[in-house]
Amino acid sequence: MISCVRVKDGVEFTKIAPAGFHILAAIDSAAAFIAHDLTITSACDGEHSGPDDPHKRGEAFDVRSHDLPDKQLALQAIMNSLGTLKFYGFIEDETEANEHLHVQLRHGIIYP
């Protein structure tokens, strides 16, 4: 079975920056690596941290984690593709209802 990237209904990709495409490609690779579908739950939409939010610039995406057999492995697989020099990812709100993987271009990094 082919694992793929899905998008939650209502998620809006209003803008995808070059760094954002790298993140999306990394999520796609990670789905194949962990042999499990990955679902994007937030792109440019939703309430985030304000006008300087990387989500609004198309440089950050959230991925559902509570349906994954190993969320740490999924995060590692994404970050292995991106590298941690320019990109940053973590499990946000871990163990809470809103838990998800958040992956973004690091603040202050101009890309490409």
Give the residues lining the site for Zn ion (CB under 5 A): 62, 102
- 73 vs 91, which CB is nearer to Zn ion? 91
Residue type, 112: P
Q: How far is the CB of 41 from Zn ion (least distance, A)?
A: 9
Nearest residue to Zn ion by CB is 102
Q: Which of 21, 15, 36 is closest to 103 using CA atoms?
A: 21
Length of the chain: 112
Q: How far is the CB of 10 from Zn ion (least distance, A)?
A: 15
- 59 vs 62, which CB is nearer to Zn ion? 62
CA–CA separation, 56 and 74 (whole Å) = 24
Q: Is residue 55 within 8 Å of residue 48, measured between CB atoms?
A: yes
Q: Is residue 105 within 8 Å of residue 86, measured between CB atoms?
A: yes
Q: How far is the CB of 2 from Zn ion (least distance, A)?
A: 26
- 90 vs 111, which CB is nearer to Zn ion? 90
- 71 vs 102, which CB is nearer to Zn ion? 102
Q: How far is the CB of 7 from Zn ion (least distance, A)?
A: 14
> Residue with structure tokens 């995808």?
16
